[in-house]
Amino acid sequence: MQDSYYMNEAIKLALKGSIYTHPNPKVGCIIVKNNQIIGKGYHRYFGGDHAEVNAVKYCLKKFKKDKGLKLLKGSTAYITLEPCSISSKTPPCTETIIKYGIKKIFCASLDPNKSINGRGVKILRKNNVDVKVGLLKNEAKSINEEFFFRHTKGRPFVRMKIAQTLDGKIALNSGESKWITSKDSREDVQYLRAESDAILVGSGTVKKDNPRLNVRNIKINKDKFRQPKKIILGNVNTKSNLSILKGDSEKIIFSNNPSSTKDSKIKYRKLSNSKTIESLLKELPEFEINSLLVEGGSEVFSSFINKNMVDELIIYISPKILGKNAISSLNIKSPKILKNATNFKIIETVPMKEDIKIIMRRI
């Protein structure tokens, strides 16, 4: 029971890094000695110290160096994910655990990353550290759903966002769409963006709406936050003054007619008639994209739905009616019989003052 309590506290800590760690997972760590928490930490931002290191630093700062070192020796750590065993932007966490004499580890789950999976546990056990795996495994995995998804499925978790009217329209026939939904709904979308590794739109939407596709108008630590990557399906002129091409975030353009550019932030991938949505998605892990937010337009929405490539569908519905000549959010063929209809399960409905937000998962 006490072990579960400490792991649950580690999970709570991990969540504090929510929008700052990706594409890394959110990780928390609690260090205990004689039933007292002596260290706690979490992975605060991408490129920064990992949870285990921050927990050790907390201990040394709180108890001062000499006492802290004594407390750490023979202590127990509760970590939400297998300690890393490779050097990247930071040294391996396994080295920190061994160096400070932490003798028992409860880790909620193994790391799904093939370069780490089980390796960290093996190194620790080889150095006489008692490691137990599986404590609150499901709870810990749930906070890194997209990270686990990418490493097990080989593609990002796809979340589609549609802002539409009661009659399923996203714009007037003229293309006017500002604004279908309310300010509260549009602000909520900024949080969806902040939690995503990348945002995808079609080139038609880029040319028509000239979107920025960045996170704005919400409170974030700009020094630690990394704007999502931007993905465009279709041809765009990179020499133009399009808003989506501005900013420091990486842009990935799937095009059958790439234009020359000196911008190192722009990457091209070949788009052809034979390339499927699934094969396109399989290329994105190369860019360390765990979660992909699909934002439009109608043709893109329909393509992803048709190919059954939407893992979560979020619809913001405005109490407006635009009529039959307006642009529909989806343009897909009807099934011949009802049981063959595309089906989603409603997970949650959220009132957004003027609108309603519906969160659904693929069945």
Residue corresponding to tokens 């000499």: 66
Question: How far is it, in rounded angstroms, from Cα 242 to Cα 301?
Answer: 22
Name the catalytic one among 52, 146, 295, 312. 52
Residue corresponding to tokens 């501005």: 246
111: Cβ contacts below 8 Å, ≥ 6 apart: 25, 81, 82, 84, 117, 120
Are 81 and 144 in contact, with CB atoms under 8 Å apart?
A: yes
Residue corresponding to tokens 């034979």: 274
- DSSP summary character for residue 339: G
Q: How far is CA 302 from the centre of its chain?
A: 23
Q: Answer whether the bond into residue 112 is a cis peptide, omega within 30°.
A: no
Residue 354 CB neighbours (<10 A): 13
Question: Strand pairing of 169-171 and 327-328?
Answer: antiparallel
Q: How far is CA 91 from the centre of its chain?
A: 24
Question: Strand pairing of 251-255 and 157-165?
Answer: unpaired
Are 287 and 196 in contact, with CB atoms under 8 Å apart?
A: no
Q: Answer whether the bond into residue 179 is a cis peptide, omega within 30°.
A: yes
The question of whether 52 is a catalytic residue gets the answer yes
H or E segment and range at residue 295? strand 291-296
Task: Please give the positions annotated as active site.
Answer: 52
